[in-house]
């Protein structure tokens, strides 16, 4: 059984993460999962704050895998980024921290 600090706080799936990302990125016009992060104004250095927000929302005590360089790219759609994040969280939260 994993230690308490390595357990996820809630069930994590790509759809739930996409909803969170859309709520974080949405401004004047509604967004969909087909919009790229770049179209939302994010660059290479901006994707880390999204990962931190997902970690805070879905991980117990914000413990989750480190964001590897190139794992999230501005050219990804919100849906694809959400799928990548869900996979990273599902693979385990004991590899480091956000």
The sign of the dihedral angle between the CA atoms of 76, 81, 87, 93 is: positive
pLDDT for position 17: 95
Query: Which pLDDT tens digits describe the chain residue by residue (98 residues)?
Result: 444 444 444 567 999 999 999 999 998 889 999 999 999 999 988 888 898 899 888 875 445 567 777 889 999 999 999 999 998 888 764 444 55
pLDDT for position 40: 94
pTM > 0.85: yes or no = no
Please give the structure tokens belonging to residue 24. 């974080």
Output DSSP code: residue 47. Answer: H
């Amino acid at each position: 059984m994993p230690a308490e600090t390595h357990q996820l706080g809630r069930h994590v799936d790509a759809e739930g993460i996409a909803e969170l990302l859309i709520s974080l990125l949405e401004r004047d016009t509604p967004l969909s999962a087909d919009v790229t992060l770049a179209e939302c104004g994010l660059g290479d250095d901006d994707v880390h704050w999204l990962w931190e927000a997902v970690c805070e929302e879905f991980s117990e005590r914000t413990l989750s895998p480190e964001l590897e360089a190139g794992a999230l790219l501005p050219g990804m759609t919100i849906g694809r980024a959400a799928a990548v994040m869900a996979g990273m969280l599902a693979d385990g939260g004991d590899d480091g921290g956000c």
